[in-house]
A = this chain, B = another copy of it.
Amino acid sequence: MAELDASKLKVTLSEKKSKLLDNDKLVFGRSFTDHMLSIEWTEAEGWAAPEIKPYGPLVLDPSCCVFHYAFELFEGMKAYKDAKGNIRIFRPDMNMIRMNKSAERICLPKFDGAVLTDLIGKLIKIDERFIPEGQGFSLYIRPTLIGTTAGVGVHHPDRALLYVILSPVGPYYATGFKAVSLEATDYATRAWPGGVGDKKLGANYAPCILPQLEAEKRGYQQNLWLFGPNNNVTEVGSMNVFFVFKNPQNNKNELVTAPLDGTILEGVTRDSILKLARERLNPDEWEVNERYYSINEVAEKAEKGQLVEAFGSGTAAVVSPIKKIGWKGSDIDVPLLEDKEYGQLTKTVQQWIMDIQYGIDEHPWSHVIA
């Protein structure tokens, strides 16, 4: 059974050289670079030789299990150009660990994450000219693993395809770093204990669109997922979510997000924010907690003036400030800094992460591509 092996890489360069889009023309995940990484796997032989080849369509039998039973998972990462022209990626080890966990859960093949990171680096180098420059701009990396066994019996896949495509992107929201409005969703549930809500499976995404469209219909930009009889806050759209509360007992601020109980995506940005907040915020002034909290607690705290700010977190948007939350027919107003579209910590955290991503703050989380 062959392991994933970067030394077997075959490179076929594209004859086409696409024109680059201007930064202001970049729409998230819409345009792609000239090449892709593609690696086939079979149960009998293991991982075939990796190939970098011209970006092009997949040709698959209509009975392939990816079309019928959602044997599919992905990751989201970004490559950044730093001021010296180095290419950096952010905590790729975390994405590789998560991707392997996702694969294991739906019986797709695992692989050595360091080898895939190395191969992704080689792909990025080939398409380096597509990395847009400027704060908020990057090359979005989409590693994808699909089951390709033909036949509609419900079995574990004995064939799979791992591929990586690259998309030059600007800020996720066309509106830029602007606070969003959310509608809390109590009629649909994203994930459940014993389910797969903590894995980056395709299966977790399609069912999330309807609640988002419903929220949009009523004038909100995203939906806020709740869970259980207490309506605990879990995630926002397809991001993790953080709240800041003022604790009147000890006069500290509390940064809070839901714990990883199997219903929450194990966000790399979420983890980074928690680690940086615990390191860098003054413990005399701050508590950082992973705990359950309900939308009712948020509403109560807002009423008492103890809701300080809130933001979503994820690779695509990094952080996304929140300005209001529709719940039970009225809106919970989330404070923002005067004349700004964000709260103080939201801005601070965004700067921390982006400074590491762009190599302004030299940090072990930022991986320079050789």
Contact = CB atoms under 8 A, between A and B. Distances in A.
Interface of A: 27-30, 32, 36, 55-63, 65-72, 74, 104-107, 140, 142, 144, 146-147, 151-156, 163, 165, 167, 187-189, 191-196, 201-210, 213, 237-238
A196 B207 contact: yes
Given A165-B62, A209-B154, A72 B74 contact: no
A174 to B, nearest CB: 11
Q: How many copies does the complex hold?
A: 2
A151 B165 CA distance: 11
Contacts of A192: 189, 191-192, 195
Contacts of A142: 63, 68, 152
Contact of A106 (B154, B193, B210): B210
Contact of A68 (B152, B154, B191, B205): B205
Contacts of A104: 210
A67 B68 contact: no
Contact of A67 (B58, B156, B209, B213): B58
A30 B153 contact: yes
Contacts of A195: 188-189, 192, 195, 207
Contact of A107 (B56, B63, B107, B213): B213
Contacts of A155: 209
Contacts of A107: 206, 209-210, 213
B187 A167 contact: no
A156 B29 contact: no
Contacts of A144: 62, 67-68
B69 A67 contact: no
A189 B195 CA distance: 5
B238 A154 contact: yes
B63 A60 contact: no
Given A29-B151, A213-B156, A63 B165 contact: yes
A35 B165 CA distance: 32
Contact of A207 (B55, B106, B167, B237): B106
